[in-house]
Amino acid sequence: MAGTDGRTATTATADAHTDSAATAAPLPDPPRALWRRRNFAALWSAHTVSQFGTQLSFFVLPVLALTVVGATPGQLGLVSAAETLPFLLVGLPAGALLDQWDRRRVMVVADAGRAVALGVVPLGYALDLLSVPLLCAVAFVTGLFTVFFDIADQAFLPGVVGRREVAAANSRLEFSRSAAELTGPGLSGLLLQWATAPLILLADALSYLVSALLLGVIRPPAPPAGAEPGPPAARERMRTRIAEGLRFVLRHRVLRSLALATAVANLAGLGGALGVLLPAFALRDLGLSPGKFGLALMVGNGCALLGAVFTARLVRALGLGRLLLAARCLPGLGLLLLATAEPGRAVPTLAAAAGLIACGVTAYNIAQVSLRQAVTPAALQARMNASVRFVVWGTLPLGAAAGGLLGSVAGLRPAIWVVTGVALLSVLPLLLTREVRTLAGFPDESGA
């Protein structure tokens, strides 16, 4: 269960070529040669396989908690919160360490660790040991590995494709995530008609193992002199490195604005409150079967492909700043529609709401993560990602816990109305920051 800015959240990168935010060149068309590069092909393949497996878990895990374990919305909120809590606990140290460690090796180990953690669920089911505490433990361990994977992933991509082609690479990775979101819920709902939820989670575990194998064949070129930190003996203490990353993000008006907007959005998003409320609302209040719920999400998530395909053109047509504002508003409009859903028209309403959310989140992810990486020096990439993730993913466990509690106390539909208001407010940090609002394209490191 992920939020904006991530694989689960997944996620992205960029580069650009101008001297100022106001005169930055628009995003170039993706070069065809990118597909023929061995390293990027392996990275893209690993990303694609893993994303399809992740979508199975994203759909099946809440269904398992609600139907097999009998979890309440509040308990489902605890499971969701446990998955993202590691970003609050170890996100900042992870960023400092990953500016020193081999990022590819960390990603391989993290994938293997997530595969083992998810394999505990079918084992617990076979031994009749499944419970909310066990699901919380599995979610926490999976989230712990995800912290290291996601921070390493976003810092690793510029070294694989080069900074000038990161935005193009991000669009292709985001397209794979969108395709997984399109087919994953429908496939999950279909599989649930034939197999038990714990067994389906084995598919996600296997996808992580395949991803680890593919990542293992990548051999990125050595970075140019001065682009990476020096040997460990010459590096600053951990506290100094963490503070440097935080200062860079908090003093940079563009990065600070993006972090605040995304943090508020994630409170309400699929990794936060909505990820808890939506399955319970669809299965219990709207009376949908897992199959119909999956079909509605599959149809709606088709709009994520539109976001992935047309983001570059929309940057040229609207300007980067306006695209960010528009994309940040779309999920709130989708939630407005979701809050009006009734059992008699549940499937089309849910599909339309999911479409608005998916299109907005996809376009926003490509643009904002690419912008972040465009203005960050290579030696600070991991610490920047960790600092931003600490802020934006740190709100996910709070949103999940609050959503579950609010759904249990006030009811699922009133809780969705509250979440809608929070989502609509997420555009304010972008709207109030001139450096973001007036962006025409992607600036370079000195352009914001």
Contact at 8 Å (CB) between 95 and 386? yes
Q: Of 59-63, 129-133, 342-346, 368-372, give the lowest mean pLDDT range.
A: 59-63
Is 442 within a domain?
Answer: no
Contact at 8 Å (CB) between 56 and 344? no
- Asked if pLDDT for residue 330 goes beyond 50, the answer is yes
- Asked if pLDDT for residue 325 goes beyond 90, the answer is yes
233 — pLDDT class (breaks 50, 70, 90): very low
Domain count, the chain: 1
Where does residue 25 rank: exposed (0-12), middle (13-18), buried (19+ CB within 10 A)?
middle
> What share of the chain in percent tops pLDDT 70?
81
The DSSP line for 68-96 is IS---HHHHHHHHHHHHHHHHHHHHHHHH
Top mean pLDDT of 89-103, 251-265, 308-322 is at 251-265
Is 232 within a domain?
Answer: no
Measuring CA to CA, how many Å separate 227 from each of 35, 159, 386?
25, 10, 18
Is 142 within a domain?
Answer: yes
Question: What is the span of the domain harbouring residue 277?
Answer: 6-219+237-437
Is 288 within a domain?
Answer: yes
- pLDDT at position 322 is 92
In whole numbers, what is the pLDDT of the chain averaged over residues? Answer: 79
Contact at 8 Å (CB) between 69 and 130? yes
130 — pLDDT class (breaks 50, 70, 90): confident
Helix (H, G, I), strand (E, B) or coil at 41: helix
What is the mean pLDDT of the segment spanning 295-319?
Answer: 80
Contact at 8 Å (CB) between 200 and 191? yes
> Who wins on pLDDT, 11 or 62?
62
Structure-token pair, residue 211: 């991803």
Please report, for the domain that includes residue 205, its CATH number. 1.20.1250.20
Contact at 8 Å (CB) between 422 and 228? no
The DSSP line for 378-408 is GGGHHHHHHHHHHHHTTHHHHHHHHHHHHHH
What is the mean pLDDT of the segment spanning 293-299?
Answer: 83
- pLDDT at position 414 is 95
Is 226 within a domain?
Answer: no
143 — pLDDT class (breaks 50, 70, 90): confident
Is 231 within a domain?
Answer: no
Phi, psi dihedral angles at 10 (to 5 degrees): -105, -175
- Asked if pLDDT for residue 15 goes beyond 50, the answer is no
- pLDDT at position 374 is 83
Q: Of 198-202, 263-267, 368-372, give the lowest mean pLDDT range.
A: 198-202
Picking from 8, 13, 7, the residue whose alpha carbon sits closest to that of residue 385 is 13
- pLDDT at position 387 is 84
Helix (H, G, I), strand (E, B) or coil at 6: strand
Contact at 8 Å (CB) between 300 and 357? yes
Is 447 within a domain?
Answer: no
Is 44 within a domain?
Answer: yes
- Asked if pLDDT for residue 420 goes beyond 90, the answer is yes
